[in-house]
Structure 1
Amino acid sequence: MLVKLSLTGVKSRLRDYLVLFSGLVMAAAIFYMFQSMASNETFLESNSFISSIVIIFYFGTVLLSIITLVYIFYANSFLMAMRQKDYGMFMMLGAKTGKIAQMIFVETFFIGILATLCGSVLGLGLSSVVNHLLTTKLDIQVQHFSPVNGKAFLVTVIFFAVLFLIAAVSNASSIAKKPLLTLLRENSTPMQVKRRKIGLLFEAIVGVILLGLGFVMMDMLMTLQIFGIAGALVTIVLGTYFVFHSVIVFILSLLKKVDSIALKQLNNFTLSQLSFRMQEYTRILSMVAMLVALALGALTVGLGFRNEIPKMADAVAPYDLVLNNAQKIDQQKVAALQPTSDVTYQFKEDADHIYYVTGEFDQQPISSVEYQPNGKTALKKYTGQEMQDNVTAQDAIRGVELPDQQGKEIHLVSAADFAGINLPVGQLQVIQVKDFQDQLKPIQDLAKENEQINPSAVGMEGMGMSGQKASAYEMYNIFFSGLEFMGFFLGLAFLTMLASCLMFKILSGAHSDVQRYRMLSKIGTRQALLKQSIRREIGVLFLGPGLLGMIHVLFGLQMFSAFLSEPYHQLWVPFGIFFLLYFIYYVVTVWMYRHLVLEQQE
């Protein structure tokens, strides 16, 4: 009987459950996808750089697990608040506390497992899509990849089962401890809305100061290190809470006093609704603002890593292509690249020495990547005269030599002395092209041919050895692509969670608002004005945490200045993607709220 009553209660609030259910499904789907990609045999059996993607996806799993844990317990607190009156009614009709606790346990655990299974099915599709995109981008040959991964499925089910088991026990025990009258009347207990203006002003000042202090600490994280991270986190969270608890309420109270605004259409009603809601929504709006920062930050940083790939390759390789013993390579292939710079240096070598012509370097100085005191890199050119007696400057030549040549002593001699050395002549060819990424494939082919001609170069890919930018580009492309995908999907997961929490909180209060809108309708208020009021009210509830979360990200990107050369480059792309998805959630929320509030008046 209790099971039937429980199912009836869930069915009556099915819309609310589906909102939270969507967040759980997305979290489980992305968790499964991370686990599936982390155990991808294609990556595990590839070279060490490609297998680093496994570590990246495992790291993403850890981050997602932490946020999912917070989300599940926060979402369950909403569910319990929504259903506790129903449970109180069951107890008033004679149900024992133990049976109610058992029913809550089964209900919570069943919903969690169902969301996990649905999410795992969705994760199959995500795994296939991500595997295809990654292997295409990294040019990896996939032998036997299947999105159906038993290990990933088992880990996902066990992880979420444990979380929902803990949540179920917590829900059951919390309800069982509450007196019957508390369960029946808690949602009807009026909130203290009236607050003194001096208190609001004080909280507002403290909130702004805490946020400012947190943003300053973010900018100094490299100096403050772990204490800066902890301090910035504490001050920003507290500052965010005070902003919603006081600053927005203070602004709304000022707007209500401006007659030209408050007395226009239904603005006074909308402002009063918002002032009342801010008292109750402080915690949820604060949490949503932090999740907005996490979602948008993950998306921004993930896309930012993609922009770093060519820059990092440029930072370790001064030339787009280096050909050792170039006399053995078909120069027509080189000409097809239409190089903007094509320089050839002659050399002769024996077991311990390698000889170059000084004049060739005087005519065409050789480039070398030099590290600056500020941590950045710059190209520096060296002539033959500069390198002749400077062993340090000769590293510019060693940077493009073969590994078996780099240990030899370099001699820069005149053309006449070079001609007198009785050794075979070799050619060292360094090439620059107009657009490295556009010509990446033919450059990679020539780099592979260079390895075949020079066996000592084999196995040095990705280390910047032999000056091959193609190898450095491949290494950074592999590593940063993993971070890019991790950031994108973490951002998507966080966005789904924060939007579902905010949607649920707004929609769960719609039942109590029906009477207010019914009264406005009876006194002759037009439907267009009622709909406008709904759009504005929900718009502020979405806009507040959205804007504050964006501000957090704008300051928080300073933390990644050590990893991203231009953390604010093309910021409109991630912000545009986030705004579009966030706006869709807003439109859906307005539609659902309007359906619940206005259509129930009929």
Structure 2
Amino acid sequence: MTFRKFAFNNVIRNKRLYAAYFLSSMFTVMVFFTFAIFAFHPTLSGDELHSSVRNGMNISAGIIYVFSFFFIMYSMSSFLNTRKREFGLLMMQGMSVRQIRLMVFLENMLIGFIATIGGILFGLLFAKGILLLAENVLLMDEPLNFYFPFQAIMITFGSFILLFFVISLFVSYVLRTRKLVDLIKGNKKSKGEPKANIFLVILAVLLLGVGYSVALVAKGVSVIAVMLPVIIVVIIGTYFLFTQLSVYIIRKFKKKDTVFWRKTNMILLSDLSFRMKDNARTFFMVAIVSTVAFSAVGTLFGFQYFLEAGIKNANPNTFTYNGYMVEDEELAKDISLVHKTIKEENIKAKYEQTILRYYEVGNDTILITKSEDYNRFASLIGEDTIHVDSGELKIVEFEGNAFGQTEELTEQTIHLTSGETLSPNEVIYSRALPATDSYFIVSDTDFEKLPAPQREESYYAWQVFNGEEHVLEVSKKLYDKLIPYTFFSPEYELVELKKNYGLVLFVGLFIGVVFFVSAGSFLYFRLYADLDEDKQKFGAIAKIGLTEKELKKVLTRQTAILFFAPIIVALIHGAVALTALSHFISHELFTVSILVLGTFLLIQILYFYIVRYLYTKQVKKVI
């Protein structure tokens, strides 16, 4: 048997461990290849939008490639730790350190080569479906047809073969520092039960408490100012949470007889306490990686939700036209065109128009309108009308707008040409007229007594009540024909927002999924690295009376702690981060947070049940 054949057989014999490594590597290659297909797609060239799409994909591919290096490096380290005893036995049989290093190098290159080929093949298999998905998400005008991505194949193949080559060299180099006695003892060498430092336990609680408090208290731009310090404090606190606080809690449970001696808790707590030092580092890494995934995806969805809600809230009418700085003749043609286009598409809409007049009030220019005009536009969008008596002055705060001038206007007064002075007596909330800031309403009588306005704007609004499905088509036609910035359609603007923001969201989702899958793989490697040890341990315990039902219960709890301890911490981190984001943009993101975090939690629960079933099945074979 040749040496290369020997290395190949080693991979086959360790297929249980290498399967997870191979599948995770292949998934990473497939995602990178998918980005490469987008980056070199013939359609994504030319105009500015397509150029930004291509650049975004290139940057994302770079992020995934760098992350893949560390992910595969960690995976290989897990495998090497489980094979210490095997390497020691080979050395006792006469294999030199140089030969062991060569064997590991060949094994990793073999797996890397197959994973790269497999990732490219699966990428080609699912390429059309992913292209269709991207086409719909990005709302592109041109279809993303399937093509043979020769350039993407060559770049992906070359990049990952190089990556596996570098990692193979590195891990084989690390092996030469191992001593024979350490290899022979393998995982049997006790690391000792970790003990918690009470100072570091208190520090973990303080760091997390201070980090959360600052993040939740900060408002507006101060969120950006405290972001970096909070991130550093929370990361340090998370490390001590798993390495110190978790150890402290487990030791407290062990000392409590009512807990420790209850049914199978003794097996569970003793095992967790003994292995916490290794698990703590894995928990910390998974928690941080998962938090990055949760926060990134949640932030992207949050900003999209915020921007869409802002457009919908600020523009309650189906169509609007602002004739400021437009000549009367051109204005008449534009309004006639809007009416004509609406009629041609068999859309029925209500219509109102007015002259918006702005006056100098204090040191600012403020819109003042009469109650009759306000009521017409309020009725147009289904709001209640109001009554304003002579001598009254009401302030309108644009509903949902957190940046109005209400406080400033309450201190202002309006002087009429008759000598009378009006002071605000009520604040109402409405979306009836277009105003980014608050404005005044006076009675029709008092409106005639106002001095000459500082500026005037012709304003028109249409509210469709039949034929909503044709609104987007009408909007596209009018945007092409009318003067820019005069005509506005919120539905058209939402579509354009999704086109421009779709790339960011699509790329962010892919990166978030890669991070989350990698975090799950870390947990999988950590669990299966101890499989042989668990088989021996539970096999011995079964001989003294452990039933299959009790075994399943212990393994379920052990696996649940391994899978959900870091995820729960990451969910809490993510919830705090998204709450801070909502404080920054002054917009509630509770629904987005529940949707994003809940989705990731459901995926983790599904992953847990699959791994628990496979792991329990392996351990039960020894009973």
Shorter-chain TM-score: which interval?
Answer: 0.7 to 0.9
Q: Deviations over 1:486-506 (max 9, x none)?
A: 232222212211111111111
Could you give the per-residue CA deviations for residues 147-196 of structure 1, whole angstroms, max 9, x where no partner exists?
Answer: 5423333333333233222211111111123233333234322112152x
Structure 1 counterpart of 2:199, one-letter code: F
**Cα distance in structure 2, aligned partners of 1:176 and 1:375:** 71
Give the 5 Å matches for 1:330-349.
330=340, 333=343, 337=347, 339=349, 342-344=351-353
Residue aligning to 2:235: 237
Structure 1 residue 375: deviation in Å?
Answer: 12
Q: Which residue of structure 1 aligns with residue 10 of structure 2?
A: 9
Alignment of 1:324-473 (within 5 A): 325-328=334-337, 329-330=339-340, 333=343, 337=347, 339=349, 342-344=351-353, 364=376, 373=403, 378=436, 389-391=452-454, 394=456, 397=458, 429-433=460-464, 439=468, 441-451=469-479, 453-454=481-482, 457=483, 460=484, 466-473=487-494
Sort the Cα spacing of 1:390 and 1:109 in 2 relative to 1 into closer, same or farther, 3 A. Answer: farther
Q: Does the C-alpha gap of structure 1 residues 176 and 536 become closer, same or farther in structure 2, counting only changes over 3 Å?
A: same
Is 1:211–2:208 an aligned residue pair? yes
Residue 30 of structure 2 is aligned to residue 32 of structure 1: no
Which residue matches 2:292? 294
In the alignment, the residues of structure 2 paired with residue 229 and residue 513 of structure 1 have an alpha-carbon distance, to the nearest angstrom, of 42
Percent identity of equivalent pairs? 21
Q: 543, 551, 568: which is aligned to 1:530?
A: 551
Give the structure 2 partner of residue 282 of structure 1: 280
The answer on whether the counterparts of 1:293 and 1:552 sit within 8 Å (CA) in structure 2 is yes
Matching residue's letter, 1:135 = E
Structure 2: distance between partners of 1:144 and 1:580: 32
* Equivalent-residue separation in structure 2 for 1:83 and 1:277 (angstroms): 18
Partner residue of 2:52?
52
Question: Structure 1 pair 254/365, CA: closer, same or farther in 2 (3 Å)?
Answer: same
Contact 1:306 1:481 in 2 (8 A): no
Residue 85 of structure 1, CA deviation: 2.8
CA 1:143/1:554 → structure 2, altered by over 3 Å: closer, same or farther? Answer: closer
Give the Cα–Cα distance (whole angstroms) in 1 for the partners of residues 108 and 142 of structure 2.
40
Cα distance, 1:547 vs. partner?
0.7
Asked if the contact 1:53/1:479 (under 8 Å) is kept, the reply is no
User: Structure 2, unaligned stretches of length 5 or more?
Assistant: 322-330, 357-368, 379-395, 407-434, 442-446
C-alpha change, 1:121 and 1:305, in structure 2 (3 Å) is: farther
Q: In structure 2, do the counterparts of structure 1 residues 558 and 577 end up closer, same or farther at CA, with 3 Å as the change threshold?
A: closer
1:69 to partner: Cα distance: 2.8
- TM-score, normalization by structure 2: 0.77
SS, match of residue 192 in structure 2: coil
Residue 132 of structure 2 corresponds to residue 104 of structure 1: no
| Structure 2 Cα separation of the partners of residues 267 and 374 of structure 1 | 59
Is the contact between residue 22 and residue 500 of structure 1 (CA under 8 Å) also seen in structure 2?
Answer: no
Structure 1 position 134, deviation (Å):
3.4
Corresponding letter in the other structure for 1:32 = F
CA contact (8 A) 1:43 1:54 kept: yes
Shifted more, 591-600 versus 497-506: the winner is: 591-600
Contact in 2 for aligned 1:288/1:502 (Cα 8 Å):
yes
Conserved 8 A contact 2:7-2:106:
no
Question: Structure 1's 468 and 224: CA in aligned 2 closer, same or farther, altered over 3 A?
Answer: closer
For 2:531 and 2:405, the matched residues in 1 are separated by 55
Root-mean-square deviation (Å): 3.6
Give the superposition deviation at 1:379.
Answer: 6.3
Structure 1 unpaired stretches of 5+: 348-357, 398-427
TM-superposed deviation, 1:60 = 2.9
Residue by residue over 1:411-470, the C-alpha shift from the partner in whole angstroms, topping out at 9 and shown as x without a partner, is xxxxxxxxxxxxxxxxx74223579xx93x52222223324654xx3xx5xxx5533334
Q: Does 1:149 align with 2:144?
A: no
Whole-angstrom distance in 2 between the partners of 1:430 and 1:294: 44
* 1:11-35 deviation digits (Å, cap 9, x = unpaired): 2221111112222222222222223
**Contact 1:297-1:557 within 8 A present in 2 as well:** yes
